[in-house]
Structure 1
Amino acid sequence: MKLNKNHLLSLFDQPARANLPQLWVGDTVRIGILLIEGNKERTQYFEGTIIAYKTRGGQPIALVRKMSQGVGVEKTFLLASPKVVSVERKKLSKVRRAKLYFLRGLTGSKPRKLKDQSWKLKDAS
């Protein structure tokens, strides 16, 4: 049996997190990241809209965008990473695109005008 690079990498990959909520593009999420500063640990939260979501090797990856003091900030999160402490879905939105890169060019309140579907979250729980 020949071992190729992908097969070897799959042997070492950790399984995806079981406690991850079902996430989609357009959702507003709050992601907690473990930061180590010196000998202290703390959790820093990043709340924004998922503008791209994909899985690579079975591991989910989310590109999250938020506006901070009028400047757009984007971060890529490897959601199966041990540095990610918590993932909470705050708002569910209906979108018609697989990637929301067009939000980068919008200013003011226009990026917040995604159609709200949060009532579906209440029905599911």
Structure 2
Amino acid sequence: MKNRYIQDFENAQLQGREVPSFKAGDTLKVGIKITEGDKTRIQNFEGICIAVHGNGVDKTFTIRKISANNIGVEKIFPLYSDALESIKVLRVGRVRRAKLYYLRDRKGKAARIKELRKVVTA
């Protein structure tokens, strides 16, 4: 139960924001604005979304990727952050869970997620 004024403020923050719909198991490519001194650049972070938390303005999602030397890297991003430049859904995964924390213990082929195939009707 939120205060009416807080709810109105959050709705104003969400207007004009285009966010693609995704869920846990999808492979995402997130463009992050990085500021170094007076320069800004976009750095991409590509990995599997393992969790989505919260709702409204407070919504966050966790992305996991395997970096060099098979080290897993996870980052948590606020969905409506100004630091996020873009979110692209590269693959839609077929999973049966909302949180994919079990991927932390798996390596190689065991950590793969099947892709959701689209049914083509004639």
Could you state the TM-score of these two structures normalised by the residue count of structure 1? 0.81
Q: What secondary structure sits across from 1:109 in the alignment?
A: helix
Richer in strand (by share): 1
TM-aligned CA deviation for residue 17 of structure 1: 5.8
TM-aligned CA deviation for residue 107 of structure 1: 1.2
Q: What secondary structure sits across from 1:110 in the alignment?
A: helix
Alignment check: 8 A CA contact 2:57 2:80 kept = no
> Who is 2:77 aligned against?
77
Q: What secondary structure sits across from 2:98 in the alignment?
A: coil
Q: What secondary structure sits across from 2:14 in the alignment?
A: coil
> Who is 1:100 aligned against?
100
> Who is 1:10 aligned against?
7
Matched, 1:89 2:86: no
Equivalent residue pairs, number: 115
Using the alignment, how far apart are the partners of 2:85 and 2:21 within structure 1?
16
Q: Runs of at least 4 residues of structure 1 off by over 3 A?
A: 8-12, 56-59
> Who is 1:44 aligned against?
43
Using the alignment, how far apart are the partners of 2:89 and 2:16 within structure 1?
15
Using the alignment, how far apart are the partners of 2:49 and 2:59 within structure 1?
12
Q: List gaps (5 residues or longer) in structure 2.
A: none
Could you state the TM-score of these two structures normalised by the residue count of structure 2? 0.83
